Amino acid sequence: MQIVKTIPALQAALKIWRQAGEIIAFVPTMGNLHDGHLKLVEDAKNRANRVVVSIFVNPSQFGAGEDFDSYPRTEQEDQQKLQEIDTDLLFMPTIAEMYRPNAQTVVSVTGISDQYCGASRPGHFSGVATIVCKLFNIVQPDIAVFGEKDFQQLAVIREMVRDLNMPVDIRSVATVREASGLAMSSRNNYLGAEEKNLAALLYQSLCTARDAVLTGNQANSEIERQAMCFLQGAGFQPDYFSICRRQDLRAAAPEDAELVILAAAKLGKTRLIDNISFMRQLQ
């Protein structure tokens, strides 16, 4: 596995592969890799001749008072994990490499970025869109692979790629879960043992809500209200719990068949997000 830290070194390696006609897949990450990340890399390997992984804790997607300074950084362990699954190249730039001083350009995907996590974390998705746009410009991959756990993020990136006519095929991989059902996340490291057991109730609430939607005996607003009450009673501080159309994340209507339920809640100091996608039969 090659490890490079500068844009010119990365592009020199990519040029050789591109000239050989090889398909390049890209997996952007913020490191502290777990089995969910490794599943993305494995999926990328199945789709391409070469796989590039980036590790960059992006400051522009963290708001004031958020966990940028304490975000887990495990570079040596990450390198070992990627080496073991035969990743071709790891790009590990510094902040100075990725952002010039006083940079003025920001990429914003309006509408889809303004609700759910975007409402709770102003500027977050502009930071995500900006860094992903920069990385796509630098790597110029044929394929990019993202996890479905960050479902709104995935939707934002897909919208950006469509709107800016980027020649990148966006692929997604289903959320990887622990045995309890808890979605794997780097921020799970913040949870204590008791909190980690409780955290699995977030996914349980999603499954319960999905079943209620499929039964069709309650309005979506009532299902959402009951889920928020359940989470609050279990010790969470719920942010949102929303039954949406999968394609654009707007509130689901009775005629919508492809659905996703999005949820976010704090447990102690840890902010957790999760979702569940499903189809329902229409009458």
Which residues are catalytic, by number?
37
Strand partners, 53: 27, 90
Backbone angles phi, psi at 147, to 5 degrees: -85, 150
Pairwise CA distance, residues 48 & 26, whole Å: 9
Pairwise CA distance, residues 127 & 101, whole Å: 16
Pairwise CA distance, residues 17 & 131, whole Å: 23
Pairwise CA distance, residues 31 & 75, whole Å: 7
Taking phi over 0 as left and psi of -120 to 50 as alpha, with beta for the rest, 32 belongs to: left
Write the burial class of residue 95 (CB in 10 Å: 0-12 exposed, 13-18 middle, 19+ buried).
exposed
Pairwise CA distance, residues 183 & 271, whole Å: 12
Q: Secondary structure of 220-247 in the HEC alphabet?
A: HHHHHHHHHHHHHHCCCEEEEEEEEECC
Residue ranges of the alpha helices (H) in the chain?
Answer: 7-19, 35-47, 75-84, 95-98, 117-120, 124-139, 151-163, 193-215, 220-233
Pairwise CA distance, residues 135 & 34, whole Å: 21
Backbone angles phi, psi at 267, to 5 degrees: -125, 110
